[in-house]
Amino acid sequence: MASIELQNVTVKIGNNILLDNVSLKVDDGAYIGLLGPSNGGPSFVLKVIAGLLPIYSGKIFIDEVDVTDSHPEDRNVGFIFEQFNLFPHLTVLDNILYGPRVKGIDLTTKEREAKEVISMVRLENRESALSKELSGGMQQRTGIARAITAGAKILLLDQPYRALDAKIREEMRFEIRELVKELGMTAIHSTHETEEAMLTSDKIAVFNEGKLLQFDNPETVYKIPVNAFVAGFLAESNKFQVKVKDNSFIIENSKFIVDGYEDGEYVVIIRQIDVDLTSEPLNVVNEFECIIDKIRILGEFIRFTVTINNSLTIIVRELLSLERNNVKNLIGKRAYVNFRPDLIKLFLV
């Protein structure tokens, strides 16, 4: 295992800032998710730790040793990319032993070690298979075995499942986390997928425009986001800018009640999943009659587009349920939406 620490790391290319004064501490054996939009920061953090991207200022420590100026090969880091980067003409075993062979290391001991690692990653009886004969999941496990055999204590995963189909991707999320934990490695996993980060990570670091916005356990990041970007990025949301006065605000002639906010201008985030849609009124605060304009089935979810007071459009997302039969027949029908005040998130502009 290994600990990792970034202290005030800034990365610049010309006038373009890729990482902006990022400080991040990863404990031994942790599985950390880095979450953010494309070019928002997560992939750059991985490259900085691996020594593949020079920094403008700051320090990088691995096991409390300053590796800021160390070469990539001296950092004991294994990098797993979106593309598997295996040699198609080599077997699983030969792919795993490629690094030691290039370095001129005696392969007698390394081959024995590689076969033990192959068993760890559950690729027994596949060591003679060519990498092109393996499934995507097997190829990723081969990449991890290669990193371990090369002496890596840290595993950096850069969108490792993006090239896999949906079913395998879902299986691999849990399989790789379990494997990393069994091997006692420290892992940092960059992804654009909120669900992937939430399901696999001990802690999540959310980035945007090169800045680290929040670093905490998944539940806290989801329930108590520090700003509107984090709140909106972690879940599909309705977003508005409003003026709060006397614990209320108006959007398109619809008045919402909140509690505990001072008067001022705010960004309002109302997550789609937090809006309730009913056929009959519940007579609760922040309830509005609406018309259902559109309905889309999105896998396990139904997405409703509704209009309140002929002017305010709201998206509602709910789990697909047997309670709603022939949902397409609801288009054009009247219904009711309600917004729990405690689930409406407001952030000062």
Predicted confidence at residue 83, as pLDDT, reads 66
Q: What contacts 281, CB < 8 A, 6 or more positions away? A: 287, 289, 336
Q: What is the CATH number of the domain that holds 278?
A: 2.40.50.100
Residues 225 and 278 in one domain: no
Tell me how far CA of residue 138 lies from CA of 77, 176, 228, 249, in angstroms: 20, 11, 39, 53
Tokens 């304009």 belong to residue: 293
Domain-located, residue 99: yes
Residues 8 and 117 in one domain: yes
Domain boundary among 230, 259, 285: 230
Tell me whether strands 301-308 and 287-298 are parallel, antiparallel or unpaired: antiparallel
CA distance 187 to 220: 20
Tokens 């849990």 belong to residue: 174
Look at the pTM and tell me if it is higher than 0.85: yes
Domain-located, residue 9: yes
Query: Could you tell me the residue range of the domain that residue 46 belongs to?
Result: 4-230
Q: What is the CATH number of the domain that holds 95?
A: 3.40.50.300
Residues 100 and 209 in one domain: yes
Residues 157 and 90 in one domain: yes
Task: Retrieve residue 189's tokens.
Answer: 């996993």
Task: Retrieve residue 73's tokens.
Answer: 């090969």
- Report, in this order, helix, strand and coil percent for the chain, each rounded to 5: 30, 35, 35
CA distance 186 to 184: 7
Cα angle, residue 299 at apex, residues 298 and 300 outer, rounded to 5°: 105
Domain boundary among 203, 230, 257: 230
Determine how many CB atoms are found less than 10 A away from the CB of residue 205.
25
Residues 115 and 225 in one domain: yes
Residues 89 and 147 in one domain: yes
Is the CB of residue 331 less than 8 Å from the CB of residue 212? no
Residues 226 and 147 in one domain: yes
Residues 204 and 327 in one domain: no
CA distance 74 to 51: 9
DSSP 8-state secondary structure symbol assigned to residue 262 = -
Q: What is the 3-state secondary structure (H, E, C) of 270-301?
A: EEHHHEEEECCCCCCCCEEEEEEEEEEEECCE
Residues 138 and 212 in one domain: yes
pLDDT in tens, the chain (349 residues): 689 999 999 999 999 999 999 999 999 999 999 999 989 999 999 999 999 999 999 999 999 999 999 999 889 898 887 666 788 889 999 998 987 887 777 777 788 888 888 887 788 889 899 988 888 778 888 888 888 888 788 999 998 877 677 777 777 788 888 888 888 889 999 999 898 999 999 999 999 999 999 999 999 999 999 999 999 999 999 999 999 999 999 999 999 999 989 999 999 999 999 999 999 999 999 999 999 999 999 888 999 999 999 999 999 999 887 677 788 899 999 999 999 999 999 999 9
Predicted confidence at residue 249, as pLDDT, reads 98
What is the total count of domains within the chain? 2
